Structure 1
Amino acid sequence: MENKTVIFTGGSILTMAKDMYAEGIVVRENKIEFVGSLDECRKRAGSSYKEIDLQGQCLVPGFIDPHVHVMMLGMCHTWADISYPKVKNIDDLVNTLREYAENLPEGAPIRGFGFDKRKLVEQRYPTAQDLDRVATDRPVQIMNSSGHCNVVNHYLLNLIGVNKDTLDPPGGSFGRDSNGYPNGPLFDSANDYLAQKFGVKPGNHGPNIHMPDTQDNLQTNIKVGQELLLSAGFTTVNDVQVTKQEMESYLIARDSGLLKIRIELSFLSKYLDDIKKMGICSTFGDEQLTMGSLKLYADGSLISGTAYISKEYKDHERTKGYLFHEPDEFKQLLIDAHKYGLQTLTHAQGDGAIELVLQAVETAQKECPRPDMRHRIEHCGLPVKEQVKRIAELKIWPVPQPQHVYLYGNGVVQAVGEEGENYSPYGWFKEYNVPVVLSSDTPVAFPNAFEAIFAAVTRKTAQGNIVGADHKITLEEALKGYTIEAAKAVHKENLIGSIEQGKLADFAILDRNPFDVQEEELASISVVETWISGKQVFAKEKSLN
């Protein structure tokens, strides 16, 4: 018979609570029963228990990522990898897609994920003409690392009905040649054309990352995405762009036993009227799947050059970004969600878009005061300092991604100038006592907590230079930002985020204690095991169990 009481000891235990270190913990069934000395753990465990020796390794709370796209992660992981440095120029891109196509069934679409035009030698977006070099008899589609842009070949442009007479939709645009004809790139809401007849169409409520597929393939996307997250020590995530497609797929995965990770679901603002009609005025769900927040989009992406910033881009065909909604329309969406009782998560990268969120939250709280809503600004990439002061006053929670500084920081500086040094300005957050939260936006950045922590602590990029030295945070702040502070961002700090009595037994076991390594070694720390509800869901090699 399986012993339902387990003691973990014999290594470093970092609780992320008031007392950071513990000698042991007692887990009974799915919860943490006691945290303290080993002697007291053995007394509390009773007469029958199992003791697991950590063998000098380090136990931490399971990491919590408050901004992910699980199914998109799984989907893109099955596509061709066209990221830098594998792809340095358009010839590399074409050759990589050709090689990938050799293993596909005849006529199957050829798809790739991860290109960044700022890292291509040509410093431009690929075009339909470039992708015609891969194939002209079937669809070829590549997605920018931001998820805000796809580029397609002429075969697919014709298939989805985009031609010289097609106008830019609200909240999106088409790349165009010198004659004004669409030439391959589809930005933000223009990606709805890829949904064709049966797919999800967010319209001007967000970029379309919901590629239509069979339910078997959608379950595979969940399986692959979940495995990548669990292997990185993540036990709870917030999927921040849920549509009918994701909701159905997650429920099927839960009921079949496939789903292991905990997921907070944030429905796209397109569904606000439906949510109100169904009476969903607060959080509901179980310990595995919960819903109670709404995702809104204010602007586009700094990576794809569509974020709404007050200055002009220096390196993009389009010198200005844009908004998904007219300002009054956006503000009313957020105000209505607030009044109905929903936490809002607004994608806002540029200072122009962030300003809209601040105005909307201020109006919403004046018209209908609701304490502790924890309205969020996702990314909060380039606020000005005065806006951070107002973020603090309005008790808004920014949710940035340190890995974006690591991967794309130099590109942002290239695009906007010296203001790019303030990309994800954690230093200003600390100055005004704004919560410090970490996330990945995976698959925009691969799920890797310690790459994010390294980036947050050092502000180093993948190229080795520092972007925004004034915005470094401490190791403890970074660890808490991916555990207890992230739990607060999803209103779950009473259940998860720290190793404390009564909380769910979700934790990761690391090969080393982060406080015992040099800063430069942080990114190399490995997750060796992941546990959810007192059960092991991932083991890198031989289990301690």
Structure 2
Amino acid sequence: MVKSRPIQQIVINGKIATMEGDGVFVEALAIRDGHIAAQGSTADMRALAPHAEVIDCGGRTVLPGFIDSHCHPDMHGARLGRWTDLSEGFSSKEEVLQLVRKATEGTPQSRWFVGFRYDDLRLGGYPTRDELDAAAGGRPAFLYRRDAHLGFANSAALKIVGYTKDSQDPPFGRLDRDPATGELTGLLRETAAHEVVNYNQADFTSDDFAAGLVKVFADFATYGITSVHNSLCSTHGIVAYQKMREAGNLKMRVGLLASGREDELIQAIIRSGWRTGFGDEWVRLTGVEWCPDCSTSGRTAAYYDPYVGPKVLGEPEDNRGMLLYELEDFKRRVLQAHQAGLLVGADGVGDRGIDFVLDAYEHALDRHPVEDHRLRVEHCCNVTPSILQRLKRLKVICSSATGFAYDLGDAYRRNRGPEAMRYMWPHRSMIDAGVVAPGHSDSPVCHPNPLRAIHSLVNRVTDSGADLDQSEAISVYEAIEAYTTLGAYCGKEEHMKGDLSLGKLADFIVLEEDIFTMDKKRLDQLKIRETYVGGEPVFRRSGAA
């Protein structure tokens, strides 16, 4: 007879929202081998395990750890050590140009400057090609936009990748041109920008990824994130996670959405017979992902109606965005993965982009019916009434880019119009229709903090306070579900995480304030006090015992 191991930790004096139901709270938990072993009162847990380590919450509110079900930590980590992060510390494009000048001065003429997370809307637009040429002193320079769908290249950079005035637009991409002269402006859209990106990350190694991931996940822990789905996860990223696991420095649970941009990777997974769920509680194959649609803030996402608001030089007059696959080719890819037992995620942002993804999903389900398929539309922003009904009928998950509402909501209002916000991230309508809609950040496109998105879901405002249509507001509990129970469900992990019921992983967070009773207008200011993964602390705010 095998004797059960003793309880190692007890969590006491808490207002613990187990997320087993709205209003369900317990005071204490017991943890054995990283899993919830018992629930009850503080007195119950002390009596059950008098010698266990004590985690005293001091009356504070406790939630399951947040699950960010779509983000890009692998590539972000790799770029941190190689490129320059432009997301903070700059208030204008002129300041960025000064940085380029300082960073390149005295370096070899062949040395690239690559900046990433450039925000043209916040910084006052893009520089001109001549301005970036001068700042880099003739060296190649490239500013990769925060959405990872556009980038701005100077003359030397364009020359290295072979783009000239006479170049044709690449398939599923665009070289913006001055309408008066036909000269390239330097702004590259979609696959045109990816050509420069791929050139500059060709020598990245799995060690680059692993080193950066340690930093990324340490930051994520400060926002209460204990699990992620690594969207478009690269081969290097998959190798890096295994190396981190072996080295004992993986402190985040990772679901892999293998990148459809690597055909060889997808085919290798299918040939291997790996199916969704392969792996363990630390590194697990969630599925595969393709990116057919683009960026609303960058004015490339596919919509039926044209964009409104100011255009950049060289933008198409009747701009309705673009799609990055031919439909029949995309249908073939989705069907093959679906038949192989893989959950499929595919990016659809605008209404035309979402319908494109749903066309492929409907084709796959017609030919290979699966009751519990968990097919996901990633980002799934513009959920019109007709799309809502399609999602419901097909039982497709709206993997909602809730972080966009807070960080990019103002850009959406500018590019689609305030009246269009009625159908952007419409969580009230989706909940009422029974459509599963977990939330995510798409970090580093948006800030990883889930509480910013929760703020927007509850208050229906952007980070500036601009209105996103109050009729789609949801409750605090419903917003937390998007980052806990629904985050687990969309990865087929609800048997192991997402709530704090018996047997589930002991991944939980202690809040500085009570999220359920505090002023909801301050949700984006709420801080995480402590973060635990498997009962072990991975973050403690200064001053926490």
Same fold (TM over 0.5): yes
Q: Which of these residues, 245, 251, 256, is aligned with residue 265 of structure 1?
A: 256
* 1:77-127 Cα distance to aligned partner (Å, 9 max, x none): 56545348x545432332344456689999754333333333444xx5434
Counterpart residue identity of residue 67, structure 1: H
- The alignment status of 1:353 with 2:353, answered yes or no, reads yes
Distance 1:95 1:320 in 2: 35
Counterpart residue identity of residue 240, structure 1: S
Per mean C-alpha deviation after superposition, the further-off stretch among 409-418 and 70-79 is 70-79
Cα offset, 1:141, TM superposition: 2.0
**When the two structures are superposed, what TM-score results if normalisation uses the length of structure 1?**
0.90
Match of 2:434? Answer: 433
Match of 1:310? Answer: 304
Match of 1:236? Answer: 227
Distance 1:400 1:392 in 2: 15
Cα offset, 1:436, TM superposition: 3.2
Distance 1:257 1:534 in 2: 16
Counterpart residue identity of residue 132, structure 1: D
Residue pair 1:298, 1:347 contacting (<8 A) in 2 also? yes
Distance 2:276 2:114 in 1: 39
Residue pair 1:145, 1:444 contacting (<8 A) in 2 also? yes
- SS of 2:537's equivalent in the other structure is strand
Match of 2:366? Answer: 366
Per mean C-alpha deviation after superposition, the further-off stretch among 534-543 and 453-462 is 534-543
Structure 1 unaligned residues grouped into runs of 5+: 200-209
Distance 1:282 1:83 in 2: 34
Match of 2:142? Answer: 141
Segments of 4+ moved more than 6 angstroms? 102-107
Counterpart residue identity of residue 62, structure 1: G
- The alignment status of 1:396 with 2:400, answered yes or no, reads no
Match of 2:187? Answer: 185
Coordinate RMSD, CA, aligned: 2.5
- The alignment status of 1:158 with 2:152, answered yes or no, reads no
Distance 2:79 2:409 in 1: 22
- SS of 1:514's equivalent in the other structure is coil
Q: Pairwise mapping of residues 34-53 of structure 1 onto structure 2 (< 5 A)?
A: 34-45=38-49, 47-53=50-56
Residue pair 1:160, 1:196 contacting (<8 A) in 2 also? no
Residue pair 1:129, 1:183 contacting (<8 A) in 2 also? no
Residue pair 1:232, 1:447 contacting (<8 A) in 2 also? yes
Cα offset, 1:376, TM superposition: 0.6
Residue pair 1:66, 1:237 contacting (<8 A) in 2 also? yes
Distance 1:340 1:331 in 2: 14
Counterpart residue identity of residue 59, structure 1: V
Cα offset, 1:529, TM superposition: 1.4
Per mean C-alpha deviation after superposition, the further-off stretch among 160-169 and 72-81 is 72-81
Match of 1:206? Answer: none
* 1:165-192 Cα distance to aligned partner (Å, 9 max, x none): 3322222222223333433222222234
Q: Which of these residues, 18, 28, 31, is aligned with residue 15 of structure 1?
A: 18
Distance 1:134 1:3 in 2: 64
Match of 1:295? Answer: 289
Q: Which of these residues, 36, 46, 70, is aligned with residue 32 of structure 1?
A: 36
Residue pair 2:277, 2:492 contacting (<8 A) in 1 also? no
Match of 2:270? Answer: 276
Cα offset, 1:423, TM superposition: 1.8
Cα offset, 1:26, TM superposition: 0.4
Residue pair 1:87, 1:115 contacting (<8 A) in 2 also? no
Cα offset, 1:370, TM superposition: 0.6
Distance 2:63 2:286 in 1: 27
Change over 3 Å in CA distance of 1:87–1:48 after alignment to 2: closer
Residue pair 2:206, 2:236 contacting (<8 A) in 1 also? no
Residue pair 1:82, 1:96 contacting (<8 A) in 2 also? no
Per mean C-alpha deviation after superposition, the further-off stretch among 128-137 and 55-64 is 128-137
Match of 1:202? Answer: none
Match of 1:227? Answer: 218
Counterpart residue identity of residue 408, structure 1: L
Change over 3 Å in CA distance of 1:524–1:196 after alignment to 2: closer
Residue pair 1:15, 1:22 contacting (<8 A) in 2 also? yes
Per mean C-alpha deviation after superposition, the further-off stretch among 127-136 and 258-267 is 127-136
Cα offset, 1:75, TM superposition: 4.7
Distance 1:422 1:133 in 2: 44
Match of 1:342? Answer: 342
Match of 1:422? Answer: 423
Residue pair 1:128, 1:153 contacting (<8 A) in 2 also? yes
- SS of 2:135's equivalent in the other structure is coil
Distance 1:42 1:131 in 2: 65
- SS of 2:456's equivalent in the other structure is helix
Match of 1:330? Answer: 330
- The alignment status of 1:128 with 2:153, answered yes or no, reads no
Residue pair 1:195, 1:212 contacting (<8 A) in 2 also? no
Match of 1:253? Answer: 244
**When the two structures are superposed, what TM-score results if normalisation uses the length of structure 2?**
0.90
* 1:10-59 Cα distance to aligned partner (Å, 9 max, x none): 232111113621010001221110112223223332x5222222123222
Cα offset, 1:343, TM superposition: 0.8
Distance 1:135 1:3 in 2: 63
Q: Give me the identity figure in percent.
A: 28
Change over 3 Å in CA distance of 1:105–1:14 after alignment to 2: farther
* 1:483-503 Cα distance to aligned partner (Å, 9 max, x none): 111111111111111111111
Counterpart residue identity of residue 61, structure 1: P
Distance 2:106 2:516 in 1: 45
Distance 2:382 2:95 in 1: 32
Distance 1:523 1:104 in 2: 42
- SS of 2:531's equivalent in the other structure is strand
Change over 3 Å in CA distance of 1:105–1:517 after alignment to 2: farther
- SS of 1:25's equivalent in the other structure is strand
- SS of 2:36's equivalent in the other structure is strand
Distance 1:247 1:443 in 2: 18
Match of 1:458? Answer: 459
Residue pair 1:413, 1:421 contacting (<8 A) in 2 also? no
Distance 2:100 2:483 in 1: 35
Change over 3 Å in CA distance of 1:517–1:102 after alignment to 2: farther
Counterpart residue identity of residue 234, structure 1: I
Match of 1:65? Answer: 68
Per mean C-alpha deviation after superposition, the further-off stretch among 278-287 and 525-534 is 278-287
- SS of 1:389's equivalent in the other structure is helix
Per mean C-alpha deviation after superposition, the further-off stretch among 258-267 and 14-23 is 14-23
Aligned residues: 528
- SS of 1:126's equivalent in the other structure is coil
Structure 2 unaligned residues grouped into runs of 5+: none
Change over 3 Å in CA distance of 1:478–1:282 after alignment to 2: closer
Distance 2:272 2:414 in 1: 47
Distance 2:61 2:10 in 1: 14
Residue pair 1:410, 1:467 contacting (<8 A) in 2 also? no
Match of 1:205? Answer: none
Residue pair 2:454, 2:479 contacting (<8 A) in 1 also? yes
* 1:329-370 Cα distance to aligned partner (Å, 9 max, x none): 112221222122111111001111111222222222222111
Distance 1:359 1:137 in 2: 47
- SS of 1:74's equivalent in the other structure is helix
Q: Pairwise mapping of residues 494-505 of structure 1 onto structure 2 (< 5 A)?
A: 494-505=495-506
Distance 2:241 2:167 in 1: 35
